A and B are shown apart, each in its own frame.
Chain A
Amino acid sequence: AQKITQTQPGMFVQEKEAVTLDCTYDTSDPSYGLFWYKQPSSGEMIFLIYQGSYDQQNATEGRYSLNFQKARKSANLVISASQLGDSAMYFCAMREPNFGNEKLTFGTGTRLTIIP
């Protein structure tokens, strides 16, 4: 079974609009972490935001916020006031304990295109 599910292969959004990228996860461990990464066409992986399973508040980093709904096992990324430079692949990832160490698993990604 997929640990991380991103159901939107591609999205087109008008510049300056807000955009929500969906991510659901599957784990039975109470302690885990959720991440979002951005991969522009250059190929580098850029860390955007992190949410811990015990965090009471949704994480925010500048224009990025993470809409964490624990009961639904959902960790959607919200980008406010989108910019042309936001066009990229976006990956959701989960870190979970794995027999004394930690495993980091990614989803299939969403390609976001910002339209001028």
Chain B
Amino acid sequence: DVKVTQSSRYLVKRTGEKVFLECVQDMDHENMFWYRQDPGLGLRLIYFSYDVKMKEKGDIPEGYSVSREKKERFSLILESASTNQTSMYLCASSFGLTGTEAFFGQGTRLTVV
């Protein structure tokens, strides 16, 4: 079974803290993605990566950065967490071939207080 694992299911952080959300996949996928999901807004793409050390901005990258030092791991970093970053964060991965579906992690519900 393909597995995409996010390090935490629930996380509570204080405003101004540096927050790391980790995602690991075990299928040797080239592509990895970070989304945030908010009611009425669907899934919005924050950052994506198609190779180690490569990254591309998605539609809402402000306030976030990412790191991909190894192929299987893609980290989302909130440099200074703010309350408007309270959300559900979803990680996904896929092979670098058009037509192959993306597999998702279970999500991390982040609350910034």
User: Which residues of A are at the interface with B, using a C-beta cutoff of 8 A?
Assistant: 6, 9, 31-33, 35, 43-45, 47, 50, 52, 91, 93, 95, 97-109
Q: Is the CB of B98 within 8 A of A101?
A: no
Which residue in B48, B58, B101 is a CB contact (below 8 Å) of A47? B101
Contact flag A45-B90 (CB < 8 Å), given A101-B48, A104-B33, A106-B43? yes
| Dominant SS among interface residues on chain A | strand
CB distance from A101 to the nearest CB of B (A): 3
Which chain B positions have C-beta within 8 A of A95?
98
Q: Is the CB of B48 within 8 A of A103?
A: yes
Which chain B positions have C-beta within 8 A of A100?
50
Interface string of B39-60 (1 = CB under 8 A from A): 0111111001011001010110
- The A/B interface has a contact count, at CB < 8 Å, of 68
State which of B63-71, B72-80, B102-110 sits at the interface with chain A.
B102-110
Is B25 an interface residue when CB atoms closer than 8 A count as contact?
no
Q: Is the CB of A101 within 8 A of B56?
A: yes
Which chain B positions have C-beta within 8 A of A101?
31, 48, 50-51, 54, 56, 96
Q: Is the CB of A105 within 8 A of B104?
A: no
CB distance from A30 to the nearest CB of B (A): 12
